[in-house]
Each structure stands twice: as C-alpha cells, then as structure tokens.
A and B are shown apart, each in its own frame.
Chain A
C-alpha cells in the first residue's frame, strides 16, 4: 500500500454524510467484528477492516467493494461499541457515497425500483387487504409518491397506484 494511493479526505467525506460522524470516534477495538453475525458467516466481511480502510483513505477499494452491501442492519455492532461509533449508520453513509458514484449492486437498484413503484418492498394486493378486512383492519394504501420524491423520481401519472388518502 502506498500513501500516495490514499485519499486523506475520504474519512471527512464519510463523516460529513448523515450518520457518518461516528467514524471519528473509533478505537479499532474490534468488538463490532467479534459480534457481527454477517462476519460470522462471511469471513471477508469485517466492520473493523471497513473502518480502517476508510480512515486510511482507501476510497475506491471501499466504495467499489461488494462487501459494504452485506450489512444486515442488525445493530449488534452498535450495541457492543464502547465509543458509540454506530457502525451501521457509518456504513449507510459509505453506501450513500458509493451509490452516488454508481457502485450500488443490482439488488439495491431493484429495491429502489420496487420502492418507487409500490412505496414498499412487498406489493400489497387484494389478498392482504381481504385478510385485513376479515380482521376488522382498514386496507393498506400504497403511497409511492413520497418515495419517488426521496429517490428523485417524479411520480408518473398512470403508475401512482391507488388514490392518495
């Protein structure tokens, strides 16, 4: 590894993202790595390593890595962290930068498309609403417009789903 290949500004870039500031507090104690259920099944996934690479400024290596998309957002790392780094949120910050630069994996793109179309990942059909009405619950309405706005997509006329409330 050559220092010239490292981007010293990367850690500040991550820290400036929402949720990313926790990276400044890391002691590299590896409690997160010890507790991570993803790492227990996929040895290459190591929260401490992702943080160290980020602090070192290995910008492309981190952003292009498929590993950063494996987090299951279980927050076990945050629970054991003595420094309140909130790694789940730090990783979200890293993923947001990666997505902006076109590194999002196909599954993330499909997820975004589903959200844009349905307003949720699970499509609500008559099946669900029939069950709900049997239990005396009001029908669930799909409101994808909010997500389309968040995702920067304009809601198209024909695809907006049911009437908004």
Chain B
C-alpha cells in the first residue's frame, strides 16, 4: 500500500501556542503550512491553563490560545491534522520527506483541524519543531509528598481545579494555601540546573486568584528568590507582598498532619518549624520535551546542555519554536514562534527563488 502524498512549504510539529503562532505568522506572510498535532485535540499545555485575571488582566497569556485557534481556522494557507505523528524523516536536496502516521483517538472537534486518516508521506522545505516542554513530575521530589500526602497538588493540578471552578465559594474552600517554588528547577540533585522562568509568575498569579475567590484565605509563597515574571513586575511585586506571605526558605519536607499537609521550614535565625496548610501546591518547572531524543534522532536536531532542542548546529531547514527550545511563558513562546516562522519563510523564499531563477 502506498502512502498518500502531500506537499507543503513548511511542516510544523505541535499544535500548542508555539505551533499555532508559527502557522498564523507564516500564513500572514503568504506561506502555506501544514501543522500536525499528535494528540486528538489542539492546544497543548496552554489548554490546561486558567485565566488569572483578578481586578484586571494579569497578562498570563492563557486566552491567547483561543485567539490563535480562531485565527488558524480562518486562514486558508493553514492545514491542520490532529492525531498525527511524524514517524520517519529523510533529508532531501531542498527539504525533508516526512512520514506521518495516524494516532488513535482522533475526533473531529469544533474549530481548526481534522484527524489524519491514513499514513501520509509529506514533502516539505522546512520543519518547525514546536513540540513544547515537559512538565516536571513532582513525584520525583518525594520529600514534598506529592501522591503520598493528601492535600499536596502540582501547580498543573491547581490550574485544572481553578479552570473547572473546583476552588472557590461553591467548591473547595481552603483557608491556608502554600506554594513551594523551584520544584524540579534549579536543583543540582535532579540534574536540572535551569530556572524554569514561568513558575514565579504562575504561582503568584494563582495566589492572587485564590485570594480573590476566597478573601479570607491565606497564601504563603515559599521561595529561594523571586524571578521576574514579565511586564510591570516591579510595580506588582510590592502589592503582592501585601496580599501574600513571602517566606524566603525552601521547606525541608511536607508530611501528613492531622488536619492536612504540614510544611517544615526554617526562617532565618529561627528554629525549624512545622506549619499546617489546607493545600500545598508544588510549582513544577519546565524541562526538555518528552521524546526530545526521538525527535532529535528523527530530524538530527541538536540539543543544548540541558537537553532542550536547538536549531543551532542542526541540519538545514529545521527550526525550533517555543518551550521545546527552553523554558518560556505562553507569550514568550508566541514571540519565539514568530522568529522561527520568519526563518522558515526566508528559507522557503530563497529555495523558491533558486528553483525559478
């Protein structure tokens, strides 16, 4: 059986904000692109995130996924396949030949994209890897009790709880919430030396959302130091210090107490103490994409010292966009995708010129 054939100037792997932003950017430049997503649905990590506006927009970027999906659905230059996986790739004279295989579970949803139905061979001039980053599994930090101590959640689980309305006057009403930062970031014992760059921002924003939903709640922020999380940081941070308790100490452990999880920590000049909370949130960091090695082998993409994908030193015609290339917020991933799209468009234009000129 021969595969279906498809030609596209640019192939984009990954249907999260970075992949969608690259596709939209290319389309606006008049360059057609095919985007494939291995999951049945588009959206990637961003689809798990809740809006973090309180009195005003918190610029978290969660809503930009909706904008990008709507734009991608309306631009005729963009073809999207969901439930599609790149299983083989061959470099060609002026591009790549990529074999796509359909994945189970593809269903036609509203908006952009339709599931890939058959094995397809696709010829393209440029490939953009926009497969996103991997979230740290907090079970790897056993002393913080995730999966073992009731009331301990990862920040991704809190995102889901907030977006489903599980927290608030009609749902759970925790009085005391603790965030523990740098779980899976800046940790030599895990071999993860990088700052994930997004966790201070999302934790402080979610802390504010909790304080707004439940005005009587107390939010404690255990950290080593607060990293810049974007625009207006210098103005926002002093306000947040009034809304939340900032504790500059990494807890030693989280254990099960009578009324909920207990956090052991030491303040400067004070004896270590145990404090009970209703909810302990582990601010998990970003890491290299799951399957980075497989993708690297497929397209010969290089990896940096931390294991993130990089276009530097890789083969011609392969570009990397978004959190696959390093820890990035949603807004930063969208900007980064624009750069990858620009580089891919330049390549397509020069190849076209060479062919016709």
Name A's B-contacting residues (CB within 8 A).
25, 27-36, 39-40, 43, 46, 48-49, 76, 80-84
Contacts and interface: CB of A to CB of B under 8 A. Distances in A.
Contacts of B265: 30, 34
A84 B249 contact: no
Nearest to B143: A80
Nearest to A39: B272
A76 B224 CA distance: 19
A32 B269 CA distance: 13
A49 B252 contact: no
Contacts, number: 67
Given A34-B250, A39-B272, A40-B271, 14 more contacts: A25-B188, A27-B224, A30-B248, A30-B267, A31-B252, A34-B251, A34-B264, A34-B266, A76-B252, A80-B143, A80-B250, A80-B253, A81-B189, A84-B188
Contacts of B251: 31, 34
Interface in B2-52: none
A40 B186 CA distance: 26
Interface in B251-271: 251-253, 264-271
A125 B267 CA distance: 48
13 contacts: A25-B188, A29-B224, A29-B250, A30-B249, A30-B265, A30-B266, A33-B272, A34-B249, A34-B251, A34-B272, A48-B268, A82-B186, A82-B188
A71 to B, nearest CB: 15
A82 B195 CA distance: 12
B284 to A, nearest CB: 14
The 7 closest A-B pairs by CB, nearest first: A34-B252, A35-B252, A33-B266, A43-B271, A29-B250, A30-B249, A31-B250
A134 B356 CA distance: 95
A23 B267 CA distance: 20
B341 interface: no
A43 B143 CA distance: 22
Contacts of B182: 82
Contacts of B186: 27, 82
A52 B106 CA distance: 57
Interface in B201-225: 224-225
B250 A39 contact: no
A33 B265 CA distance: 8
Interface string B238-255: 000000000011111100
B228 interface: no
Contacts of B188: 25, 82-84
